[in-house]
Amino acid sequence: MKRTLLALMLGLSSSMASASVTVSDCVIREPAPGANKTGLYFTLTYQPDEETQSLRLPVPEALYGAVVPQLTGHTELHDMKHVDGVMTMTRIPQLPLKPGTTVSLKPGGHHVMLFDLKQRPAAGEEYDVEIWLAFAPDQHTASTKLVRCVRADNGAAYHNMSYVDNGDGTVTEKVTNRMWQQKIDYNRRNWFDSIEYCENLNYAGYDDWRLPNIKELVEKKHWSMDVESVPEAIIVAPDGARLAVALKDKIVMIEPLTGRYLETIPNLAQPYSVNFDTGGYNLYITEQTSGRTLIWRVHDAATREIQLGSGGEVSEVTLSPDARLVMVGDLKKNTVTVWDLFMEQEFAKVTLEDTPWRPYVSSDSEHMILAAENGQGLVVNSWSGQTVKKIDFKDQTTEIRTGWLESIGVVATTAHCWCSIYAKNPNYPPSKQA
């Protein structure tokens, strides 16, 4: 379904109403001393009027964010929640906007973070704010399509474009044995009328026709392409919209559905690690000989750099699932460096007895599990930076992982596989070996 982004402009001190959307109580918080970021808050109400409904005009379906051009174009939509007594902040892609509802952005809840401020806003100043809404047509009533019906085999397998012409106005797929209507009447129908049309169709001697599902309309396709060197790694974005192909001194972005090149990130030094954050908004590229980390923003190719570690050799990088922390093992200093991406500063530096392995984070982003080569293990709270559990794995560490269950961390050594359980009460039950 096609969506359209619309920017609504308003002065900071005023309210605004347009297209059945009302914005009020728009406030920018004065930044803390020394901080280069702050929060934007407002109230958004969507109440469709009779004209919008009668004309079936595109309707707003979500708030995608906001910018303050005079201050910054670097903003993110965030949510804050109390989890087990700890305040957590998570980046979110959008806020749904339903008819007759109000969305409130306020301290301690949903808000827009303003980063990289060009100037420091002060009390009493006024700024223009662009609020971004996504508009979509009513797909079930306003949008109409041509219809081709199908019958038999509802296994939802991808079709293979290999057919037998039945000579009666139908074709049958060789692999799935699905039969398709070959000749259509070229009448455009909306969603509900299309379902009714297929279910009531008596065609070529059959009366069990139905509307195909989305997988039955997708062709399974394979492709290959040449690149200039052997790929060191291939990373798929969480939304599947792009592949990051790591080559000798650059990363090439490829669109997997079409196989076309999108862009290139040049001037990299091998070896380096590549990671998308959870939402696929940013790509993190860390040179493992120095800890120099390039953060490449997907939607506009904007870049910034941070330094992880002391400048020497580092492990591969790990990102917390909530995209708040990035961490790396400093191999020469026997430490793990943790960087807070929201505060844009080093969050913690944890010293180990021996060379650290790549650190890992629990699936709820609450704990980090660290291990050194000599078998030392630590569980560290990712909000306080405090060590909540110490473990002696007894042998040389060979692998470390965290599970989908937020309470499980797994460390393999030369002789054992240890399962550490650290949620809620970090001291019970104890670590178990297998």
Confidence of residue 374 (pLDDT cuts 50, 70, 90): confident
Quote the pTM value: 0.50
Residue 409: CATH number of its domain: 2.130.10.10
Same domain for 129 and 81: yes
Among residues 176, 197, 217, the one where a domain terminates is: 217
Over range 181-187, report the average pLDDT: 84
The length of the chain in residues reads: 434
Which structural domain, as residue segments, surrounds residue 85?
4-136
The fraction of the chain above a pLDDT of 70, given in percent, is: 76
Residue 277 lies in a domain: no
Confidence of residue 422 (pLDDT cuts 50, 70, 90): very low
Burial of 320 per CB tally in 10 Å (0-12, 13-18, 19+): buried
Same domain for 39 and 124: yes
C-alpha distance from residue 432 to each of 376, 378, 387, 420 (Å): 15, 15, 19, 7
Residue 12 lies in a domain: yes
Counted domains in the chain: 3
Same domain for 182 and 77: no
Residue 223 lies in a domain: no
Task: Using the predicted structure, report yes or no on whether residue 28 has a pLDDT greater than 50.
Answer: yes
Residue 125 lies in a domain: yes
Task: Using the predicted structure, report yes or no on whether residue 17 has a pLDDT greater than 60.
Answer: no
- Predicted local confidence at residue 107, as pLDDT: 87
Same domain for 384 and 330: yes
Report residue 295: phi and psi, to 5°.
-105, 115
Among residues 107, 136, 165, the one where a domain terminates is: 136
Same domain for 15 and 121: yes
Residue 206 lies in a domain: yes
Residue 57: CATH number of its domain: 2.60.40.1890
Residue 270 lies in a domain: no
Same domain for 156 and 130: no
Same domain for 46 and 19: yes
Same domain for 328 and 204: no
Q: In angstroms, rounded to a whole number, what is the distance separating the alpha carbons of residues 209 and 198?
A: 5
Among residues 217, 237, 258, the one where a domain terminates is: 217
Chain segment 79-122, per-residue pLDDT in tens: 887 666 666 788 887 888 877 888 899 888 899 999 989 999 98
User: Using alpha carbons only, what angle is made at residue 1 by residues 200 and 66, rounded to the nearest 5 degrees?
Assistant: 150
Same domain for 163 and 95: no
Task: Using the predicted structure, report yes or no on whether residue 300 has a pLDDT greater than 80.
Answer: yes
Task: Using the predicted structure, report yes or no on whether residue 169 has a pLDDT greater than 70.
Answer: yes
Confidence of residue 293 (pLDDT cuts 50, 70, 90): very high
Chain segment 119-142, per-residue pLDDT in tens: 999 888 888 888 887 765 444 444
User: Using alpha carbons only, what angle is made at residue 287 by residues 384 and 293, rounded to the nearest 5 degrees?
Assistant: 50
Same domain for 417 and 327: yes
Task: Using the predicted structure, report yes or no on whether residue 161 has a pLDDT greater than 70.
Answer: no
Same domain for 326 and 421: yes
Residue 330 lies in a domain: yes
Residue 299 lies in a domain: no
Same domain for 166 and 131: no
